[in-house]
């Protein structure tokens, strides 16, 4: 089992490059998780750090932890108040005609016995805004930079499929898995402003499976 790559570290914060496919919480069926490996992230501190936000199991990249309860509360508030700068990279399963834009699609959660739960666009859903731009094209696919202004569950995945009209490569819910190991989404940059302290700024390198697509 590989060691976690540390992207940022100080007395109250830790940012790791989360591997794609590794869940934060231990699944019901057990198996590996970040929760089980928090002891590895103490790095000399007494407490185990606690995740300050969520990333889907498939999503790789910047994951922020708080090293004490007070910092955890502050980071939760920063995310809730939209004071955190978040940038994602995603590989679309095609190339869009438009090369940039804003997706303003409200989202709501639905569930069915056949398909389980998922998010869908709905006029009465929660407001959701994502800015996006194509940064590269290769092999009939586009590498897109996403900047979500809100933080809804599966927001980028639904906005890619229903807003741009092309799902993320390997997305089994809003597109097709098509033999890929995961949904191709990567949290590439995280910036958190702090009162009286330098901001937390972390950048995660391009993952190997993105590079393998020609990016």
The predicted pLDDT at position 138 comes to 97
Q: What is the percent of the chain where pLDDT is above 70?
A: 100
- The CATH number for 17's domain is 3.30.2350.10
Task: Check whether 70 has a pLDDT greater than 70.
Answer: yes
| Mean pLDDT across 19-29 | 91
Which residues are designated catalytic? 56
152-184 pLDDT, tens digit per residue, is 999 999 999 999 999 999 999 999 998 899 999
pLDDT-derived band at 1, boundaries 50, 70, 90 = low
- Provide long-range contacts, Cβ within 8 A and 24+ apart, for 1-5: 1/32, 1/37, 3/40, 4/37, 4/40, 4/41, 5/204
Of 83-87, 142-146, 175-179, give the lowest mean pLDDT range. 175-179
Joined tokens for residue 49:
């750090």
Tens digits of residue pLDDT in 196-213? 899 999 999 999 999 999
- Alpha helices for 66-207 (secondary structure H): 69-80, 155-158
Q: Is the pTM of this model over 0.85?
A: yes
Task: Give the chain's mean pLDDT.
Answer: 94
Q: How many domains does the chain have?
A: 1
Domain of 19? 5-211
Mean pLDDT of 31-44: 93
């Amino acid at each position: 089992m590989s060691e976690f790559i540390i992207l940022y570290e100080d007395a109250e914060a830790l940012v790791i490059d989360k591997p794609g496919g590794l869940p934060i919480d231990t699944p019901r069926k057990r198996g590996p998780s970040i929760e089980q490996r928090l002891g590895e992230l103490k790095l000399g501190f007494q407490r185990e750090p606690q995740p300050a936000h969520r990333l889907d199991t498939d999503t790789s990249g910047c994951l922020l932890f708080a090293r004490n309860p007070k910092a955890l509360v502050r980071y939760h508030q920063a995310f809730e108040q939209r004071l955190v700068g978040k940038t994602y990279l995603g590989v679309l399963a095609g190339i869009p005609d438009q090369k940039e834009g804003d997706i303003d699609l409200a989202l709501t959660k639905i569930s069915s016995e056949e398909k389980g739960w998922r998010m869908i666009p709905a006029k009465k859903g929660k407001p959701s805004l994502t800015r996006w731009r194509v940064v590269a094209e290769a092999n009939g696919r586009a590498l897109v930079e996403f900047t979500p202004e809100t933080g809804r569950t599966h927001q980028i995945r639904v906005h890619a499929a229903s807003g741009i009209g092309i799902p993320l490569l390997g997305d089994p819910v809003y597109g097709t898995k098509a033999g890929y190991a995961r949904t191709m989404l990567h949290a590439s940059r995280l910036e958190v402003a702090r009162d009286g302290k330098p901001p937390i700024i972390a950048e995660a390198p391009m993952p190997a499976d993105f590079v393998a697509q020609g990016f």
